[in-house]
């Protein structure tokens, strides 16, 4: 799979990219906020997006809503900090594929990817 990562933390980018590549997938774009996701979605055409909830400029849930409004149905796995549960539940109601709570382990990423490959 070609995967887009959206997060405002360079540390999360490094970690997630490592896990994605070790599991045999490719990171096709790294966004720092939701606006960058929207701006690059057509060109990069990812199979999956890992999306942080809290980001500057445009947060994850807003970017997710706008994707769905423009009929982009790419699966989105939200990355949430502790305390984001309500937001995440709303996202799931609106069709998010999954969510992972930070700090996540490599095993969490592998399981989330395996679930989507089936
Ligand atoms: Mg963040």
**What's the CA-to-centroid distance between 3 and ligand 1, angstroms?**
18
**What's the CA-to-centroid distance between 52 and ligand 1, angstroms?**
6
**What's the CA-to-centroid distance between 33 and ligand 1, angstroms?**
8
Domains and their CATH numbers in the chain = 2-117 (3.40.50.2300)
**What's the CA-to-centroid distance between 106 and ligand 1, angstroms?**
19
Sequence-separated (6 or more) residues with CB below 8 Å from residue 48: 1, 2, 3, 4, 74, 75, 76, 77, 97, 113, 116
For residues 68-90, give the mean pLDDT. Answer: 86
**What's the CA-to-centroid distance between 116 and ligand 1, angstroms?**
24
pLDDT in tens, 17-73: 999 999 999 999 999 999 999 999 999 999 999 999 999 999 999 999 999 999 999
R_g of the chain, CA atoms, integer Å: 13
């Amino acid at each position: 799979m070609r995967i887009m990562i959206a997060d405002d933390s360079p540390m999360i980018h490094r970690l997630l990219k490592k896990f994605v590549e070790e599991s045999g997938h490719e990171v096709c774009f790294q966004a720092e906020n939701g606006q960058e996701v929207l701006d690059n979605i057509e060109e990069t055409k990812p199979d999956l997006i890992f999306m942080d909830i809290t980001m500057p400029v445009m947060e994850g849930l807003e970017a997710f809503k706008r994707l769905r409004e423009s009929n982009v149905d790419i699966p989105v796995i939200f990355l949430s900090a502790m305390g984001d549960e309500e937001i995440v539940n709303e996202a799931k109601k609106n069709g998010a594929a999954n969510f992972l709570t930070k700090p996540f382990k490599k095993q969490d990423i592998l399981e989330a990817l395996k679930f989507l490959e089936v």
